[in-house]
Copies of this chain bind each other. A is one copy, B any other.
Amino acid sequence: MVNRFMFRGIEIQFRFDVTLSMDSTNEIEAPQDMLLDMEITSFFDSAPPLKDGIDIDRKITEFIERHSPLSGNLGERRIVCVTSGGTTVPLERRCVRFIDNFSSGHRGAASTEYFLKAGYGVIFLYRRGSCQPYCRFLPDDPFLECFEFTQESNVQVSESHFEVVKKAISNHHAAIAEGMLLKLPYTTIFEYLQILHKIAVPMRTLGGQGMFYLAAAVSDFYVPWNSMAEHKIQSASGPLDMRLVQVPKMLSMLRKIWAPLAFCISFKLETDSNILLQKADMALQKYKMHAVVANELSTRKDEVVVVTSNERISVKRDKAVAGDDVENHLIKLLVDRHSLYIKAGPDHGA
């Protein structure tokens, strides 16, 4: 059966039984999937190339190999890819203005600490300048606020910050030195999705041992690179009208093609609690996530709701325990669920 539809002004014909050219056993069954794939191809084709793509590939491959059962170097360890911070959408090619998604990166940084504590290798895909693991309790500008210049012409940690600085630097450096933490920075939505793809494809070799914990605030809308203004938009008289198109839903691609056996957790942030759980449910079904973590902007540090196909589990910070985080309980729950998922085998869990 041949179908016809319009895509970017070009009439497209296709048959229902085509399969994707990427190496996958999943057949593409519906025209929506075909359309999505084309949108994604178009997104990647038009994206500016990553500056240090080869170096990033090498780092990811080495990290995953070190943790894989074949090399045995660090045993058969689980690996989680934690995404953190917010992506930007450039409005001009020679970028002066961009749209940004607010996210401090606290959730991703805290979660990384608890995943490391649970023995996971962590690939931390973070927004440049966002919060780093073990650095959550530092002041805004730790470099200028925590150190002082002594009379002996030396630089030392000021006494009031000594404990928090010591913990941050020792834990952070230890995680990297032990080969448990790989940090990869991004800024734009183009960089984020390209690097996520680079991580996901070799993660396939881990099967169910791999996990994605997608806490980054990813732009919903973008200006396609090839329709973007070359130069700075001029502020002539009158208002500025902008048309942004939707970012293709990469979560579908991640689940179906890139790493179909990995355990996948995504996040839903809303400011309106009335629509939050409904939106989380929709995301769960649409992208076939194993769980969606629903959080509301104003209470996100105290409580989240883990939505699965048959449960809604409220996870709260224990206010009676000083320094307790909601991520402490959230990661414990998700690690347990990941264990069950591995035990059940991919055919049951996926």
Contact = CB atoms under 8 A, between A and B. Distances in A.
A271 B232 contact: yes
B148 A155 contact: no
Nearest to A93: B271
A221 B235 CA distance: 8
Contacts of A143: 135, 138, 142-143, 146, 168-169
Given A239-B243, A240-B243, A270 B129 contact: no
Contacts of A172: 144
A102 B92 CA distance: 11
The interface centre, meaning the residue of A99, A144, A241 with most chain B CB atoms within 10 A of its CB, is: A144
A334 to B, nearest CB: 24
Instruction: Determine chain A's interface SS by DSSP, over half rule.
Output: mixed
A166 interface: yes
Interface of A: 88, 91-92, 94-102, 128-129, 132, 135, 138, 140-144, 146-149, 153, 155, 157, 162, 165-166, 168-170, 172-173, 217, 219-221, 230-232, 235, 237-246, 269-272, 297-298
B129 A147 contact: no
8 contacts: A88-B100, A94-B271, A96-B101, A97-B100, A143-B168, A144-B169, A148-B173, A238-B246
Contacts of A297: 94, 96, 232
Contacts of A241: 241-244
Nearest to A140: B128
A147 B132 contact: no
Given A97-B100, A271-B231, A169 B147 contact: yes
Nearest to A95: B102
A121 to B, nearest CB: 19
A130 to B, nearest CB: 10
Contacts of A97: 99-102, 219
Given A141-B132, A143-B143, A169-B155, A96 B240 contact: no
A128 to B, nearest CB: 7
Contacts of A153: 166
B217 A96 contact: yes
B173 A166 contact: no
The interface centre, meaning the residue of A96, A172, A173, A238 with most chain B CB atoms within 10 A of its CB, is: A96
A231 B102 contact: no
The interface centre, meaning the residue of A138, A143, A147, A239 with most chain B CB atoms within 10 A of its CB, is: A143
B269 A96 contact: yes
